[in-house]
Structure 1
Amino acid sequence: MGKFYISILLILMSFSMASAPAYTDNNTYHFTVKRGDSLSQYFSKLGLSNRLLANLLFANKNNKKLNQLNIGHKLTIRLHNNRRFKSLTYQLNRKTNLNIVLNGNYFSTILNRQSKQTPSDLSITVVSINHSFGADAQKAGIGFSTISLVVKELSWQLNFNTDLKKGDRFIIVNGFGEKPVAIIYQSIIKNKSIEAFAYKNKHGHINYFNRFGHSLNSSFLRAPLKYKRISSKFQLRRYHPILKTWRPHRAVDYAANYGTPVYSTANGVITTKGRKGALGKVIIIQHSFDYTTVYAHLSRYANNLYKGRKVKKGQIIGYVGSTGRSTGPHLHYELHYKGKRRNPLTHKLPAQKNISCANLQNFKTRVNKVLSNLELDYQSKHANWAD
């Protein structure tokens, strides 16, 4: 019985002697191995179970190298926001890192050889769509701020309410920063993908671009048609010519000939097509997570338009008319930003910026490093898992 208590005491002492992480950053814990340290001690300090450790060590023959850590070597453990294990990176030697990522219920092992072409310290989280992106991302341990960022950045290209199908997936690549270094959406059924790679400009602002350095958002046309004049501006107090009362007019009225083509001012998805009270025949387009435009008093619609149909910037969606509460042919145009009407003539619209030629090569080098890391991850899934 005495030997039993001595053994328990020694185990507790070994846990208390385990090195504290050198520093933490966004649920990422960095250790420098000291004499007597072990992976089980690190797991215990972070509240990770022995069962998880056992499954990790037996998942791949390379993982067993973690049974004996080398003094002075670096080890990084990353956790999800819900404190579940996410990934691990261990410095085997000067040239090689051992990377282990938990995807669902199985571990992916990657041996990264340090070179200019292969990045290290990147973690990959895969969100497979079963219900919705928000629900499935939370289940995968993605935080609310990252979920909002993904929706905002991809919503110019992707309708999160209608486009997602079961089996689609999002690949979110994180480094040491708070924001992902890459976001990739893959549609299995449609066999297409959307890529967004982070780039920090000289002012420290992070924006996302495709692999060629082009912005993902759509710039706006300043006006939705060729008009004669502006018959009524955006104003908080305007005398209504029909109602004979003073009322706000949170739109711009463009006077034009009957039948003049009306264009979508940016890429988007039609959310409403039909009659809508005083607006008459109307089309409403959702352009991104933040922007919506309204086109009212139309005489008729362009062919093959329906709710849920995607439209391009400059595409004809209808023709000027005088339906609804109107005194003559004109287009009533509204711009909504984050649910509030804005003045289309003065609101600062998002510009479709691209990375400058001077910085493009540096950006593409970073993109290639991320894609290389993803390729290694793919290879490990199809080779190392069988070991």
Structure 2
Amino acid sequence: MNPHGRMPITCPGGMQNARLQRQAPATRHGHHDLLTRRLGTDSVGSCKRQGKSVTCSYNIRPDYKSLATTDGSPGRLRRIGWFLFGAVFSTSGLLYALQPGEGSATTETGQPLPLASSEATTSVSTRIRTQRPTSVALANPAPEPLPAPREPEARPPAVEKADVETEKWHEESVARGDSLARIFERAGLSARTLHALLAQADGKQRAALRRIYPGQRLRFLLADDGGLKALEFIEDRLHTLRVDCTPSGTCRFERQVKQPDAVPRHATATIRSSLFKAARKAGLSDALTMELAGIFGWDIDFALDIREGDRFTVLYEELYLDGEKIGNGEILAAEFINRGRAYRAVRYTDPSGRTDYYDPEGRSMRKAFLRTPVAFTRISSRFSLGRRHPILNRIRAHKGVDYAAPYGTPVKATGDGKVVFAGRKGGYGKVVILRHGSRYSTLYAHLSRYARGIRSGRRVRQGQVIGYVGQSGLATGPHLHYEFRINGVHRNPLTVRLPEAAP
């Protein structure tokens, strides 16, 4: 601009001239109108053409703020440049903040932040720099839902924990000659407490508490006032009787039974001298050996029929509690070879819950009669029709078997039946006669006394004790005289074929 207020503006040819031509005709008047619109109506001047350029002179007020730069660029372009620079700067900041999550920023509630304007962009950039978002929405087309927050683990109340820590049990062991009243007294409880406890127990619970043995343990938990809060009577490792009492004195009884782990075991042995020695060598307890004899006792007389070379195989259970063996379980299956003949038995429980042993054909191992009615030491006299009587000293048929046994040894009924006679009978002394159905009958003589309740007309079960060994009548020593009759005819009890038990 010159001192006179005139500003020469040159519009050279080329791109700028072409831009002006698009806005207005490339005439002197066209340039005049265009510059007039840009500089205002108060600017007055003239233009003249010089070759390919047009030179215009205008009178501009001294206080007019120039819109042109020194190099001729329009001021509007400069404003647009600053606007773009600010937008690029804001966008760069936003992308820098979003780079760790590789997605668009979201609000704390999980909704995407709006990016519709530069003001919103600036606000988002400021918020991201000052507060890290709690969640980021993935840029995938189908975003997966965020996992639900984990619930805190439930913990027992502090009061219950304190109660457990403050509970102190007092334990007493049953000693020889101890009584329940003496044990309660040592635990600081009165006889009145014991009486009130037993009064609330049923018959089985009362009997268990009164039937204590040395080595058993009782644990007491006392209340703050010194009364009984809880009692545990540990009968053995599997059975515990628990009693919980309220402050009012009401007690609740509960029988707790632990279930041990049963592990199958296998044992086999050959008899050289006796069954028990062979079984112990194979690792069997005496209880399992007796159970084995009981399974095959209807077919094998283990006092008379065992021979050297007989062998047996047993599959049984061993019981474990907390990894420690506590005893043996039941025999699951067994085989006994006696004199070359094999006897096999398998344990089975039917749908009604009845458990017994059966042979491979499904027949019960149990017979209608036991082979021997007493645990004897030896046979003093066998079945014979030409035997000389030891007292009468003459030939007299011995129609039964004499089992020598200690005085007072229990005598058992060999089968289910009915007592048809119980009393003295000549040389038999004290005798009991049982009838088993319509065909079979058995006789037990030389008894010392009868079992309680045995009288004529009374029904008995197989294995029930009916009397005790003695030497009443014509006898030289304590023994049992046993006879077996079929339809009234005497048969040898040691060799007679016993009938099968009812299924």
TM-score category, normalised to shorter length: 0.3 to 0.5
TM-score by length of 1: 0.36
Question: Normalized against structure 2, the TM-score is what?
Answer: 0.27
Structure with higher RCO (Cα < 8 A, 6+ apart): 1
